[in-house]
């Protein structure tokens, strides 16, 4: 008896795995699920974990780590839409803040050239003042 | 002979430039091929998600996700996908022209605009042009990663969730073929409902944990994947445009060298002729 189904594991960046399988085990939101051929239509969110694809009866299997995603099951086709990275709400939040910050910084940098010029002129002035003080000191030492 | 020497120097410097443009052309050509492969690899994910969203949205019509709902437009968000580096012909300029035209159209309808910029060229342009930039990311390299985009996308999605923007547009370069890339504007949000053929389904999925979170996740992932695709496609466009630009630069340098070579030969010939006539004249005088 050889009942198989097709498995596609894809992420937004690339196709990770494609082939036939006897069974697939995935880390669903409410615990691990095993999918066998002719499973009824099923959709589930996945937690970060390992997907095991059993390729043959002899127990040969592929292990693929995913960091979350969605599992879609049709009777003869199983698709895993894998996330490319560990996703957490606050992590995303931090990234978003960073992107905002970058935009603000980039716009603020318009002033950078001006500030640089100002700083330079101040530096020159300070240096001149220092030289002046040094000169005064030297002349007072001589006296 | 002074003229001839100057020309020789010029020819040499143009030859050096030609070497550089030739090298850039070849680098761009090989990178383009890889970028195109990557572009194809991203397709199945988005297609699959689109199918599932279509199905899920049809299966429970009573739940209307805000991403699927049309709203009155008071403010739009525009995501502009540009390159990080120049020397790629008119690729970015055409894109910005399209963006500015799009912005003008919205402004005429009294709609305000938030910009989200991907790529440092866009940032440079809109810094000069002015515009309300709310998020940006740059220096993604030749192999952009979704990770680097998540934050930027999140800013726009959040703005949409909170009702600060009512429509999200994407301005990107479309890879038609190696010779031509076209700027294109697409509406990301609200998502236009999928085709009618979805209605034919008699069955429904078993959902875990529930339809709503599944749909939420899928919609977010979908938007992300569309933007990611645009970024990857933009890399392919950049490389193709650079290849073409560098090829024409190399050809132009070749033409210039040929012309200068002619001028050089003439100058050399004139100098020799003059020298001979001087010698002959001198000999005759003796």
Assembly ipTM: 0.70
Query: What percentage of chain A carries pLDDT values higher than 70?
Result: 78
**DSSP one-letter string for B9-45:** HHHHHHHHHHHHHHHHHHHHHHHHHHHHHHHHHTHHH
Mean of the pLDDT values across residues A110-126? 60
CATH 3.40.1380.10 residue spans of chain B: 26-241
Domains in chain A, CATH or no CATH each: 5-88 (2.60.15.10), 92-142 (1.20.5)
Instruction: Give the gap in angstroms from C-alpha B206 to the nearest C-alpha of chain A.
Output: 4
Contact A8 B44 (CB under 8 A): yes
CATH level 3 topology of B26-241: Pyruvate Kinase; Chain: A, domain 1 (3.40.1380)
Is A88 in the B-facing interface, judged by CB distances under 8 Å?
no
Instruction: Give the gap in angstroms from C-alpha B228 to the nearest C-alpha of chain A.
Output: 8
Identify the residue whose tokens are 């940098």.
A109
pTM confidence score? 0.79
- Told to judge if B237 belongs to the known catalytic residues of this protein, a careful annotator would answer no
Structure tokens at A108: 């603020």
CA distance B198 to B75: 32
Mean of the pLDDT values across residues A49-56? 86
CA distance B63 to B75: 25
Annotated catalytic residue within B7, B11, B57, B88: B88
Q: In a 3-state reduction of DSSP, which class is residue B231?
A: helix
Instruction: Specify the pLDDT at position A56.
Output: 78
Percent composition of chain B: helix, strand, coil (DSSP 3-state, to 5): 65, 15, 20
CATH pick for B1-16+245-281 out of 3.30.70, 1.10.287, 3.30.450, 1.10.490: 1.10.287
Helix (H) or strand (E) holding A126: helix A112-142
Mean of the pLDDT values across residues A3-29? 88
Is A16 in the B-facing interface, judged by CB distances under 8 Å?
no
Alpha helices, H only, B60-145: 91-108, 120-129
- Low-confidence residues of chain B, pLDDT below 70? 1-2, 58-62, 193-202
Would you place residue A121 in the very low, low, confident or very high pLDDT band (cuts 50, 70, 90)? Answer: low
Chain B residues whose C-beta sits inside 8 Å of any chain A C-beta? 38, 41-42, 44-46, 48-49, 52, 56, 117, 123, 127, 133-138, 145-147, 150-152, 154-155, 158, 203-209, 213-214, 217-218, 221, 224-225, 228-229
Instruction: Specify the pLDDT at position A101.
Output: 77
What DSSP designation does A39 have? P
Would you place residue A17 in the very low, low, confident or very high pLDDT band (cuts 50, 70, 90)? Answer: confident
Beta strand pairing status for A42-54 and A23-28? antiparallel
The residue of chain A with its CA nearest to that of B219 is A70
Q: Is the pLDDT of residue A112 over 60?
A: no
What DSSP designation does B192 have? P
Instruction: Give the gap in angstroms from C-alpha B96 to the nearest C-alpha of chain A.
Output: 18
Structure tokens at A6: 């097709």
Cis amide linkage into residue B209, ω under 30° from 0? yes
CATH 1.10.287 residue spans of chain B: 1-16+245-281
């Amino acid at each position: 008896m050889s009942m198989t189904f097709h498995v596609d594991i894809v992420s937004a960046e690339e196709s990770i795995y494609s082939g036939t399988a006897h069974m697939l085990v995935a880390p669903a939101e409410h615990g691990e699920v095993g999918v066998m051929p002719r499973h009824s239509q099923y959709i589930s969110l996945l937690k970060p974990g390992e997907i095991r694809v059993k390729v043959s009866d002899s127990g040969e299997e592929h292990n693929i780590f995913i960091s979350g995603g969605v599992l879609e099951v049709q009777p003869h086709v199983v698709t895993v839409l894998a996330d490319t990275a560990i996703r957490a709400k606050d992590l995303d939040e931090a990234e978003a803040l960073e992107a905002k910050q970058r935009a603000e910084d980039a716009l603020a940098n318009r002033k950078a050239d001006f500030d640089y010029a100002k700083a330079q002129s101040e530096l020159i002035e300070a240096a001149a003042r220092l030289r002046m003080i040094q000169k005064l000191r030297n002349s007072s030492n001589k006296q | 002979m002074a003229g001839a020497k100057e020309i020789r120097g010029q020819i040499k410097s143009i030859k050096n430039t030609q070497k550089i443009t030739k090298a850039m052309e070849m680098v761009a050509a090989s990178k383009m091929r890889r970028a195109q492969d990557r572009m194809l690899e991203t397709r199945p994910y988005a297609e699959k998600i689109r199918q599932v969203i279509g199905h899920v949205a049809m299966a429970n019509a009573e739940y209307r996700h805000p991403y699927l709902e049309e709203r009155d437009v008071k403010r739009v968000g525009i995501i502009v996908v540009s390159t990080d580096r120049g020397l790629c012909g008119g690729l970015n300029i055409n894109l910005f022209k399209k963006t500015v035209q799009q912005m003008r159209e919205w402004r005429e309808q009294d709609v305000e605009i938030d910009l989200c910029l991907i790529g440092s060229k866009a940032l440079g342009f809109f810094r000069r042009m002015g515009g309300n930039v709310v998020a940006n990311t740059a220096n993604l390299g030749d192999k952009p990663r979704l990770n680097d985009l998540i934050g930027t996308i999140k800013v726009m999605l959040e703005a949409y969730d909170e009702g600060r923007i009512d429509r999200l547009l994407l301005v990107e370069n479309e890879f038609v073929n190696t010779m031509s890339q076209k700027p294109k504007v697409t509406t990301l949000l609200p998502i236009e409902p999928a085709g009618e053929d979805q209605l034919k389904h008699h069955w429904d999925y078993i959902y875990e944990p529930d339809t709503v979170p599944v749909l939420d996740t899928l919609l977010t992932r979908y938007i992300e994947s569309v933007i990611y695709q645009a970024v990857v496609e933009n890399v392919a466009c950049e490389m193709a445009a650079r290849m073409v630009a560098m090829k024409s630069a190399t050809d132009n340098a070749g033409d210039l060298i040929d012309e200068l070579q002619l001028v050089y030969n003439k100058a050399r010939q004139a100098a020799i002729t003059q020298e001979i006539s001087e010698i002959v004249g001198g000999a005759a005088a003796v």
